[in-house]
Amino acid sequence: TLIRREDYLAPAFWIRSVDLSFDLDPAKTLVTSKMRIERNTAVAHGPLCLHGEELNVLRVLIDGESVSFRQDGDLLLIDKAPDADFLLEIRNTCAPEKNTALSGLYTSGGSFFTQCEAEGFRRITFFLDRPDVMAVYTVTLRADKAKYPVLLSNGNLLESGELDNGRHFAKWHDPFPKPSYLFALVAGDLVAREQKVRTRAGRDHLLQVFVRRGDLEKTEHAMNSLIASMVWDEARFNLPLDLERFMVVGVSDFNMGAMENKGLNIFNTSALLASPATATDADFSRIESIVAHEYFHNWTGNRVTCRDWFQLSLKEGLTVFRDQEFSMDMAATPSARAVCRIQDVRQLRATQFPEDSGAMAHPVRPDSYAEINNFYTATVYEKGSEVVRMYQTLVGRAGFEAGMKLYFERHDGQAVTCDDFAQAIADANPGSALATRLEAFKRWYSQAGTPRVRARGVYDELARTYTLTLAQSNPASPGQEHKLPQVIPVALGLLGAEGQALPLQLQGETEAAGLERVLVLDQAEQRFVFINVAVAPVPSLLRGFSAPVLLDDGLSDAELLVLLQHDADAFNRWEASQRLALNRILAAVRSGQALQLDTAYLEAMRAVLKHAGLDAAFKELALTLPGEAYIAEQLEVVDPQAIHAAVEAAQIQLAAALREDWIATFEANSHTGAYSPDPVSSGRRALANLALGMLVLDAKAQSRADAGVWLGRAYQRFKDAGNMTDRLGALAALVNGHAELAEPALAKFHAQFKGDPLVIDKWFALQARAAEQGGRVFAKVRQLLQHPDFSLKNPNRARSLIFSLCMFNPAAFHRADAAGYVFWADQLLALDAINPQVAGRLARVMDRWTTLAEPYRSAALEAIRRVATKPDLSNDVREIIERALASG
Ligand code: ARG
Ligand code: ZN
């Protein structure tokens, strides 16, 4: 059944406080819940209707007396609930060790963990499991002391002590009312890294990071990230930590990255543990941003939460924005900030753009869902963050901070909507470009699809004017035929042909307003006339990617080369590099002819590589070709093999033409000294790895006489690497460039790291993402399914092998013989029986099947249909599959 946003009704009852006690046992855990309940007199009189899934009820008492109740599916109904406030006591059991869905209370590695967002609490006990019901929790945990020496829940520890039969207990109290999705408990044999910190306001806090014994030395980076997040949120938004104790716990079996439970964040170990020997630079930076993300939720999500799940982006879009801003501020230099922005945009284009034009396209604030877990999407998170960024662009940084202040003044302790947020930012900035267009701006929440912006400029030499015409359109999405114009901030600058920045003066203005400004496009088409323009300009539009749109600026190669060399905006410099490559790849794919890179492009890339003033990190991004998913987005009919062939040809030619420069680049960047994950040294490692990959690829592709030299050097570097980034980079160079020589290295890597699951995940993923060569990667993945280390039950492992192939290796997955799709359907059905949430993600692989060329399209449809006929599909998978079918 479909849940609709417009059907929202306030709850018939409020639960003001709850006293929970757990007798923890993996097979059968006993839960006793005592709830203080009152009727919500604002809504119609009705029965008390509690959610509960896969629970076994033992008794139900109201004010100490047993009361009649009925169960209807996943609801427990009490018809005769009193009108006056009452105490409801429910006893039930659940089975944590059988919980392979990893939602609710489950066991992992012999310990207990919970995941309640979005609707996991109802798998623990009966409750009004919806975010607008906020209660104060007191939680008592009882468990065997030897097996579960650590007992944690939200808030402050009130007391703890011994019980009979080797058991012990701990009692926790969280003073902040919260929705059930923020409840958490952890019980197990864990150890903690601890740190005491004093905030600017002079309050002391205890920070703890709990992990399994043996992982403690991998928690330093997470602790540092947590401290940095606290400092940043106080400095930037004046938001201090409101708890005496803040705990973070790692768990190996986890559906997502991490969870912001009040005072007790629970993390996938992949988003928490890092050491130079076992984690890459990318891991270090992901950990920093996820630790920050969960910490920032304490205000944006927990203190102010969502009224209903349609408002999910209220907390997620805003918190992603906050973690992106944090990462940029941590990066410190302007160029390192730009690198952060480029990476975020690359991610948006690779995941959110395809989502927004596919079967699952939905607005940032969806209108309906069958399964809310399917809506923890790139649109809600990443596009949601872009929407928040546009508020900041429209009202300025100080204006945005004032808006946040007003938001908390108005809504602290409440469960609110995206409209409430928009109103607070606008009200704090009366007369701003946002406030004057608020209703139109809010179309970003209601309209799905990526707007297209077309920009064309005309220079009038005599009048010295430059007329820029901006037009927008947004193609239809499922359920949304016609769309209205959106409010699109377009940051821009104008460059002369020598690259000089030109002053920007619009017609009607008495003087130029600087060298960069933000135009607001809010009509289907608008003209902006710049005056006193000395020379024919090259426009640098959408600087810093000021809006999540697809831009068609019609710039020639010559103009893109000007931007690549001179643009003051590093993002647009990078964008020029990508556009130059994209134009060539698309031309080859569209014409069906072999790609042949021209001298102009190759020399421009050489100039970037040799440029003394550019950072290594930037060079690596500029020299990396656009992703195959983003390339596919530009085409009406997608032949994944043709795209892959063009990208591969481009890579081989780039490798050959720049060979001497790759050698020099590798030599200059291959030694970064004692490991530190800072932007400068990680940028150098990234560039060295790119260069090494190119050199190994080139040695093989051109059968060079000295081919053995580079293969030997790659193997040597793999063996002797002082950190995981260098080691994995060298291994990837071997696997992608010379698969047959990579086997001994892969075996060595496995033997060296067999005790470390997170590294073994990398081992699986590297092989499943390797450059396909005549079907050998696909065959290898099928073989790896049988590997003793493979398991479908552990989400990280399933992702490392199956998702890597189906989602991140189009050339290995989209096969003319349909074997990739058969593999997908088989694995999807197997996974669905274990973990519907993770299966729902895998189902998304077929979002864009309608754009595939034949024979892929028909074969994909057949696989989707086969899944659809399975009678007992989860809600999660069924919704995705039905939407995929409906899009055809
Ligand atoms: N709120 C978490 C985060 O973004 C994600 C939890 C999602 N859980 C889920 N079952 N979909 O940090
Ligand atoms: Zn989040």
* Closest listed ligand to the CA of 317: 2
pLDDT of 875 strictly over 90:
yes
Give tens-digit pLDDT for 674-719.
999 999 999 999 999 999 999 999 998 988 888 889 999 999 999 9
Atom of ligand 1 nearest to the CA of 294: 12
Ligand 1 binding pocket includes 258 (Cβ within 6 Å): yes
Interval 738-747 mean pLDDT: 88
Q: Which residue is closest in CA terms to ligand 1's atom 5? A: 259
Cis peptide bond N-terminal to 855, omega within 30: yes
Calculate ∠ Cα 81-87-92, nearest 5°.
Answer: 90
Give the whole-angstrom CA distance, residue 385 versus residue 363. Answer: 13
Kindly state the percentage of the chain with pLDDT values over 90.
97
680's CB contacts (< 8 A; 6+ apart) are 336, 615, 616, 617
Atom of ligand 1 nearest to the CA of 258: 12
Ligand 1 binding pocket includes 119 (Cβ within 6 Å): no
Chain position carrying tokens 């705990």: 247
Q: With contact defined as beta carbons under 8 Å apart, do 110 and 189 qualify? A: yes
Distance (Å) of CA 877 to CA 117, 805, 821: 18, 19, 16
User: Best mutation site among 116, 178, 259, 318 for ligand 1, i.e. most ligand atoms within 8 A of its Cβ?
Assistant: 259
Give tens-digit pLDDT for 820-852.
999 999 999 999 999 999 999 999 999 999 999
| Pick from 560, 573, 544, 554: nearest CA to 458 | 554
pLDDT band at 580 (very low <50, low <70, confident <90, very high): very high
Report the Cα–Cα distance between both ends of the chain, in Å, rounded.
22
pLDDT band at 740 (very low <50, low <70, confident <90, very high): confident
Atom of ligand 1 nearest to the CA of 316: 4
Give tens-digit pLDDT for 49-94.
999 999 999 999 999 999 999 999 999 999 999 999 999 999 999 9
Q: Which pLDDT score, from 0 to 100, does residue 200 have?
A: 84
pLDDT of 816 strictly over 90:
yes
| C-alpha 294 to ligand 2 mean position (Å) | 6
Is 0.90 topped by the overall pTM?
yes
Measured in degrees and rounded to the nearest 5, phi and psi for residue 10 equal -65, 155
| Pick from 105, 106, 188: nearest CA to 147 | 188
For strand 452-460 and strand 550-552, is the pairing parallel, antiparallel, or unpaired?
A: parallel
| C-alpha 117 to ligand 1 mean position (Å) | 6
pLDDT of 26 strictly over 90:
yes
Question: Is residue 783 classed exposed, middle or buried when 0-12, 13-18 and 19+ CB atoms within 10 A define those classes?
Answer: exposed
ipTM strictly over 0.85?
A: yes
Give the whole-angstrom CA distance, residue 638 versus residue 885. Answer: 18
552's CB contacts (< 8 A; 6+ apart) are 452, 453, 454, 455
For the ranges 202-216, 472-486, 700-714, the lowest mean pLDDT is seen at: 700-714
Q: Compute the mean pLDDT over every residue in the chain, rounded to the nearest whole number.
A: 97
pLDDT band at 101 (very low <50, low <70, confident <90, very high): very high
| C-alpha 185 to ligand 2 mean position (Å) | 19
Ligand 1 binding pocket includes 316 (Cβ within 6 Å): yes
If DSSP codes are grouped into helix, strand and coil, which group holds residue 32?
strand
Q: Which pLDDT score, from 0 to 100, does residue 332 have?
A: 85
| C-alpha 363 to ligand 1 mean position (Å) | 18
Ligand 1 binding pocket includes 796 (Cβ within 6 Å): no
pLDDT of 600 strictly over 80:
yes
User: For the sheet containing 150-153, what is the strand order?
Assistant: 104-108, 111-115, 185-188, 150-153
Q: Which pLDDT score, from 0 to 100, does residue 70 have?
A: 98
Interval 632-645 mean pLDDT: 97
Q: Which pLDDT score, from 0 to 100, does residue 704 have?
A: 84
Q: Which two tokens stand for residue 626?
A: 């656009």
Ligand 1 binding pocket includes 260 (Cβ within 6 Å): yes
Q: Which residue is closest in CA terms to ligand 1's atom 3? A: 259
For the ranges 329-338, 403-412, 415-424, the lowest mean pLDDT is seen at: 329-338
Q: Which residue is closest in CA terms to ligand 1's atom 12? A: 259
Kindly state the percentage of the chain with pLDDT values over 70.
100
Give tens-digit pLDDT for 767-778.
999 999 999 999
Q: Which residue is closest in CA terms to ligand 1's atom 2? A: 259
Interval 854-874 mean pLDDT: 98
Interval 647-674 mean pLDDT: 97
Chain position carrying tokens 């010295």: 464
Cis peptide bond N-terminal to 513, omega within 30: no
211's CB contacts (< 8 A; 6+ apart) are 190, 191, 192, 193, 218, 219, 249, 250, 269, 272, 273
Question: Is residue 191 classed exposed, middle or buried when 0-12, 13-18 and 19+ CB atoms within 10 A define those classes?
Answer: middle
Distance (Å) of CA 718 to CA 760, 822, 845: 16, 35, 33
Give the whole-angstrom CA distance, residue 410 versus residue 296. Answer: 19
CA dihedral of residues 836, 839, 843, 844 (deg, nearest 10)? 100
| 17: β partners | 36, 136
Q: Which two tokens stand for residue 786?
A: 């049988």
